[in-house]
Amino acid sequence: MKLSARNTLPGTIRKIEMGAVNAQVTIEVAAGINVVSIITVDAVENLSLAEGKRAYAVIKASSVMVGVDS
């Protein structure tokens, strides 16, 4: 797999919550660290995603915001 995105985090799918059109996919990228993505149900099926399967969280963003507690 080759991607232009710089942030590719390997992990394990921990949960898939299917909706009518979209699904919420939770990927554990490190112990206790999860990345959650909303993708289409078609994408879940086309990628054969399942809980416990290895997958990548691929993050492509033009900006990253930073915040602090005041």
In a domain, 33, yes or no: yes
What pLDDT is stored for residue 65 in this prediction? 77
30: domain CATH number? Answer: 2.40.50.100
Question: Is beta strand 33-40 parallel, antiparallel or unpaired with respect to 54-59?
Answer: unpaired
In a domain, 65, yes or no: no
In a domain, 66, yes or no: no
What pLDDT is stored for residue 18 in this prediction? 98
Domain tally for the chain? 1
- The range of the structural domain enclosing residue 20 comes to 7-58
Which phi and psi angles does 14 have, rounded to 5°? -100, -30
Which residues, at least 6 apart from 34, have a Cβ–Cβ distance to it below 8 Å? 14, 26, 27, 28
Per-residue pLDDT of the chain (70 residues; tens, 9 = 90+): 788 888 899 999 999 999 999 999 999 999 999 999 999 999 999 999 999 999 999 988 777 777 889 8
Structure tokens given for 21:
């059109």
What pLDDT is stored for residue 43 in this prediction? 97
